[in-house]
Chains A and B, each alone.
Chain A
Amino acid sequence: MIAEEPATTGADLLVKALIDEEVEVVFGYPGGAVLPIYDSLFKQNRLRHILVRHEQAAVHAAEGYARSTGKVGVVLVTSGPGATNAVTGLTDALMDSIPVVCLTGQVPTHLIGNDAFQEADTTGITRPCTKHNYLVKAVGDLARIVHEAFYVARSGRPGPVVIDLPKDVLMNKHEYVAPSKPVQHKSYRPQLKPAPEKVEQAIELIAAAKRPVFYTGGGVVNSGPRAAKLLTQFVHMTGYPITNTLMGLGAFPASDKQFLGMLGMHGTYEANLAMYNCDVMINIGARFDDRITGKLAEFSPRSKKIHVDIDPSSINKNVHVDLPLVGDAAHVLEDFVRLWKSHQPRVDHKALKAWWDEIDKWRARNCLAYKADNETIKPQFALERLYKQIKDRDCYITTEVGQHQMWAAQFLKFEEPNRWMTSGGLGTMGYGFPAAMGVQIAHPDSLVIDVAGEASIMMNIQELSTVAQYRLPVKIFILNNQYMGMVRQWQELLHGGRYSESYMESLPDFVKLAEAFGAVGLRCHEPAKLDDTIKQMIEIRQPVIVDVLVDKAENCFPMIPAGAAHYDMLLGPDDRAQKPVSEEGMVLV
């Protein structure tokens, strides 16, 4: 060390380390164990703290912030209940590979294990729901651990990292340690580039395809905007069709004619049939999730599969692949583009034309069609009208979880990555609203809309108080069918229409609720007035709840019932009578 810096408290060291990690915003909620940190925050003005109303919302807000910016989201909560409330958010971030650093307070080291007030075994509880976690036992380790935590959270396959901070560690004094660059971790070294011969093999396989399909996911988004640009470039060079997972939407422009829409359980007919019938599948940054594959034994049975993933444990987990490439999407795509240019491979244009003709036939089924109605608002109609007014704006969309989420994925089109925030892996109701707050903090002048259901929105409704406090003009667009729609849909299809506990009794008056929190409430139940309502919502520079009363019985189609294969899609309400769901499928979720 060149010059001895004066010793500072652990809490001050922490704040300094956060600033050195280029953190600008912390989402948190104070409590006894983290009071020293809140005192340090009070004495500075580099870090902005956003006070949420529940710790789960702090994590989701950090996720929205991270997903929309590519930066690490930061959370600060107290010990015990503060930490346990954050667990759902951490699990959500783990499942969707979102970089988050969560600082949790802890009782002083000498009290750990004594069942002290607001003590919880935070590292024990969060071990399975984080990428990694730390308990800082000495103030001398604090700065190093913070820097390492940020490195682990953002590198490789990103994910949440918890740092548990006993109160005495926060109050003890020590010198600061600046981050070392480049970071060299002694055991954690994610592989960014696959072996060159594998890339060559992949290019050969891609060039020889007669019925190819690109299947890309959240990994492309996580790799950064450059990966999405390279993906678009490469897909254009090949002329091949492409489908995106729920998490991958926006990585390829949805308006492009090579785009087949989302795939999977509620994906398009053309995307799923292209997956089933392809001869070469090029998976980039997706993980063969059960919502994508449907019945595993009949998943794309005749294809050679290439799988690009930064996480070796994703490879051959659910589906055997023929050519795995472990590496970062941007690195691999860069190689693909370069090799495709230099090799100038001869693609079988005749076969490709025949393949596109077949795809166009599937497209002609127009699988997202629905029966419009003059009297009641169809949820699909509501989203179509919403899309019409937002598509030329600087807009970010988040969703809750359920039917509205799937409709949003089908009907809102994304032309670039980081514009679409949704809970894919964990399926967390209550994600969308706090995530929208995080997005709005990062993009104060953009239009941020949470497409919600009336059931999901109730799960983090307390955050209306947060948006009021920070004057965040988040829009909550509720498709209100007075049911937990997706639960009701499954009960209709699988449980004989016995709607057990899926009816939302005694809903609040959302207009009055908005007003009670100082927000604006709007309601619409007539299709003819919807455009005006949406216009009003966009123009008001305040938080707005729009309560759109939609058809209560509408179901989300297309649908691959659980346990069924890709060719076994239900395309609409008239389709399901002929295709009863198997007993095997009923066991699946």
Chain B
Amino acid sequence: MNAAPLNPGQLAPHQAASSHTISVLVDNEPGILARVVGLFSGRGYNIESLTVAQTDPRENLSRITIVTTGTPMIIEQIKAQLDRLVPVHRVRDLTVEGPHIERELALVKVKGTGDKRVEALRLADVFRAKVIDAKTDSFVFEVTGNSDKVQTFIGLMEELGLVDVGRTGIVALSRGGEAL
């Protein structure tokens, strides 16, 4: 209610869609991921990235991090709909609730010899990517960072013999000492 009213009585079609990172704390129980994913597909929301793993074994909680796109009204709906699921403990829109950090990990397989191989290794060093597998004609790099950095690295590797990519999707936390 603090925000100024939009066009009262109307949807706000002129409002631009933007990307939001939403963090959801849920009971780690069978079907919870299906509930969340089914909610997004059933109501026609986007999922750009989704990560999930158990994060609190004592309380048996998992954290789901979802990157989605929508107008402010849609994002509000997504949060309210997620919060309505019975096994959901907390929902936070990290994009609007103060500063946060995002990280993604990618495994990048590059095949090549000679100059290209040397250049790949040199760029990997610039991006602080680790070599985690090596053959005489290939590398597998592990690169972490925000999605832009990961995407840039993958883009560079395309010219140098990119064969395969695996990405985790984004995990995110708020900055500072507060828990979700």
Q: A interface vs B, CB < 8 Å?
A: 123-124, 127-128, 131-132, 135, 152, 185-188, 198, 296-297, 299-305, 311-313, 315-320, 322-324
Nearest chain A residue, comparing its CB with the CB of B85? A132
Q: How far is the CB of A310 from chain B (nearest CB, A)?
A: 11
- In the complex, the answer to whether A316 meets B9 with C-beta atoms within 8 Å is no
Q: How long is the Cα–Cα vector from A478 to B176 in the complex, in angstroms?
A: 67
Interface centre among A300, A301, A302, A317 (most CB of B within 10 A): A317
- In the complex, the answer to whether A305 meets B8 with C-beta atoms within 8 Å is yes
Interface centre among A188, A315, A323 (most CB of B within 10 A): A188
- In the complex, the answer to whether B9 meets A319 with C-beta atoms within 8 Å is yes
Hey, which chain A residues are within 8 Å of B80, CB to CB?
312-313, 315, 317
- The residue that B38 contacts in the complex, of A128, A132, A198, A319, with Cβ under 8 A, is A128
Q: How long is the Cα–Cα vector from A302 to B9 in the complex, in angstroms?
A: 8
- The yes or no answer to B31 lying at the interface (CB within 8 A) is yes
List 4 A-B pairs, minimum CB-CB distance, nearest first: A313-B80, A132-B86, A187-B89, A312-B80
- In the complex, the answer to whether A320 meets B10 with C-beta atoms within 8 Å is yes
Q: How far is the CB of B26 from chain A (nearest CB, A)?
A: 8
Q: How long is the Cα–Cα vector from A304 to B30 in the complex, in angstroms?
A: 44
Q: How long is the Cα–Cα vector from A198 to B30 in the complex, in angstroms?
A: 39
Nearest chain B residue, comparing its CB with the CB of A149? B86
Hey, which chain A residues are within 8 Å of B7, CB to CB?
320
- The residue that A188 contacts in the complex, of B5, B81, B86, with Cβ under 8 A, is B86
Hey, which chain A residues are within 8 Å of B87, CB to CB?
187-188
- In the complex, the answer to whether A186 meets B9 with C-beta atoms within 8 Å is no
Hey, which chain B residues are within 8 Å of A319, CB to CB?
9-11
- The residue that A127 contacts in the complex, of B27, B35, B81, B89, with Cβ under 8 A, is B35
**Of residues 77 to 113 in B, which have CB atoms within 8 Å of A's CB atoms?**
77, 80-81, 83-89
- In the complex, the answer to whether A322 meets B88 with C-beta atoms within 8 Å is no
Known: A186-B27, A324-B1. 16 other contacts (CB 8 A): A124-B31, A128-B42, A131-B86, A132-B85, A188-B86, A198-B1, A296-B10, A297-B10, A297-B11, A301-B8, A301-B10, A302-B9, A304-B8, A312-B80, A319-B9, A319-B11
Given contacts A128-B38, A187-B27, A322-B8, contact A316 B86 (CB under 8 A): no
- In the complex, the answer to whether A316 meets B73 with C-beta atoms within 8 Å is yes
- 13 cross-chain CB contacts under 8 A: A131-B86, A132-B86, A135-B30, A188-B87, A297-B10, A297-B11, A299-B10, A302-B9, A311-B84, A312-B80, A316-B76, A319-B10, A320-B9
Q: How far is the CB of B97 from chain A (nearest CB, A)?
A: 16
- In the complex, the answer to whether A317 meets B77 with C-beta atoms within 8 Å is yes
Given contacts A131-B86, A186-B89, A320-B73, contact A123 B31 (CB under 8 A): yes
- The yes or no answer to B179 lying at the interface (CB within 8 A) is no
Nearest chain B residue, comparing its CB with the CB of A161? B86
Hey, which chain A residues are within 8 Å of B5, CB to CB?
320, 322
Q: How far is the CB of A544 from chain B (nearest CB, A)?
A: 42
Q: How far is the CB of A202 from chain B (nearest CB, A)?
A: 11
Q: How far is the CB of A473 from chain B (nearest CB, A)?
A: 40
Q: How long is the Cα–Cα vector from A136 to B159 in the complex, in angstroms?
A: 53
Hey, which chain A residues are within 8 Å of B9, CB to CB?
299-303, 305, 319-320
- The yes or no answer to B34 lying at the interface (CB within 8 A) is yes
Q: How long is the Cα–Cα vector from A296 to B13 in the complex, in angstroms?
A: 11
Q: How long is the Cα–Cα vector from A320 to B3 in the complex, in angstroms?
A: 12
Q: How long is the Cα–Cα vector from A253 to B9 in the complex, in angstroms?
A: 28
- The residue that A124 contacts in the complex, of B34, B42, B88, with Cβ under 8 A, is B34
Q: How far is the CB of B170 from chain A (nearest CB, A)?
A: 24
Q: How long is the Cα–Cα vector from A185 to B88 in the complex, in angstroms?
A: 11
Q: How far is the CB of B59 from chain A (nearest CB, A)?
A: 9
Hey, which chain A residues are within 8 Å of B126, CB to CB?
none
- In the complex, the answer to whether A320 meets B6 with C-beta atoms within 8 Å is yes
Q: How long is the Cα–Cα vector from A188 to B77 in the complex, in angstroms?
A: 18
**Chain B 1-25 interface mask (CB, 8 Å, partner A; 1/0):** 1000111111110000000000000
Q: How far is the CB of A118 from chain B (nearest CB, A)?
A: 21
Nearest chain B residue, comparing its CB with the CB of A190? B84
- In the complex, the answer to whether B10 meets A187 with C-beta atoms within 8 Å is no
Q: How long is the Cα–Cα vector from A135 to B11 in the complex, in angstroms?
A: 39
Nearest chain A residue, comparing its CB with the CB of B83? A312
Q: How long is the Cα–Cα vector from A569 to B146 in the complex, in angstroms?
A: 54
Q: How long is the Cα–Cα vector from A384 to B152 in the complex, in angstroms?
A: 73
Q: How far is the CB of A104 from chain B (nearest CB, A)?
A: 15
Nearest chain B residue, comparing its CB with the CB of A313? B80
Q: How far is the CB of B90 from chain A (nearest CB, A)?
A: 8
Q: How far is the CB of A469 from chain B (nearest CB, A)?
A: 37
Q: How long is the Cα–Cα vector from A198 to B9 in the complex, in angstroms?
A: 19
Hey, which chain A residues are within 8 Å of B27, CB to CB?
186-187
Nearest chain A residue, comparing its CB with the CB of B84? A313
Hey, which chain A residues are within 8 Å of B86, CB to CB?
131-132, 152, 185, 187-188
